[in-house]
Amino acid sequence: MAQQNTRLGIWLMVLTTFIFSVQDGLSRHLSEATNVYMVTMVRYWFFALFVLTLAARHKGGLRAAAKSGQPLLQAFRGVLLVLEICVMVSAFVYLGLVESHAVFACYPLLIAALSGPVLGEKVGWRRWSAIGIGFLGILIILQPSGGVFSPLAAIPLLAALMFALYGLLTRRVARTDSAATSFFWTGTVGVATATLIGMWFWEPMSAPDWAMMAALCVTGAAGHFTLIKCYEVAEASAVQPFAYLQLVFASAFGMLVFGETLRPNVALGAAIITCAGIFTLIRARKAAQS
């Protein structure tokens, strides 16, 4: 077991969020140049290879990694993550990185709100208050221009709901399965699902875009590797608040690379959601320790 080093874990989480932000920028560009489904499929081919390589090196090999006490839930998780990625990358294309991540940042609040019905956990009044304040932040972000609500704003909100459910199911299967088993099922079921969808949307790509696709695959593997190392050296509850830096990094890429703008209501709403989300994480940590 790796020695606990919270400071190193924090820096690894910061690096992970930066890598994933680069991945989001590449995903947006490639999905605009071709389509979301093909990009997700090719990305999963490389990701599955990465997962199988790690599983083969793990104690017991592929057979041990594949052994699950809850195979149906594991399979559902794998499918759900593929669909969530497709929805979120579609949000990047239609709304941009800034506004998509501002809304998506509410997923920890959704996890807290759904942890009762899904996991049977008790959510106190303080966390419910933070959840309510966080959703006020969402309403501020979705402030309609000219009094007309854009249905496109629902896309990252749907992605956040799907990712929250994925996170809750990951915690549920962890009661019987190891992290290595969950990772194995995520990659193998995910690549099958992504391929079944993406093979109908194959399009030719230019050489520069193939280079970006290669970079997308590498960043995906690198981000998961640094995240794994992060959780090896530090408790998840200690480093999870720093995952919100992905909102900062992705917004910076959106403005600097894609020429997006940060509207005042989006900045205010995102700040409220982030503060509420960090508060729920702190309260969850205290509840787990009591």
Tell me the whole-structure pTM to 2 decimals: 0.89
Supply the angle between the helices 36-57 and 207-233 in degrees, to the nearest 10: 40
- Residue 60 region by backbone torsions, left for phi larger than 0, else alpha for psi between -120 and 50, else beta: left
pLDDT tens-place string over residues 4-55: 777 888 899 899 999 999 999 999 999 999 999 999 999 999 999 999 998 8
User: CA-based angle 101:134:105, to the nearest 5?
Assistant: 20
Mean pLDDT, to the nearest integer, of 251-279? 88
Using CA atoms, how far apart are residues 261 and 254, in angstroms rounded to an integer? 8
Indicate whether 146 pLDDT > 50: no
Please report the pLDDT score of residue 3 as a whole number: 61
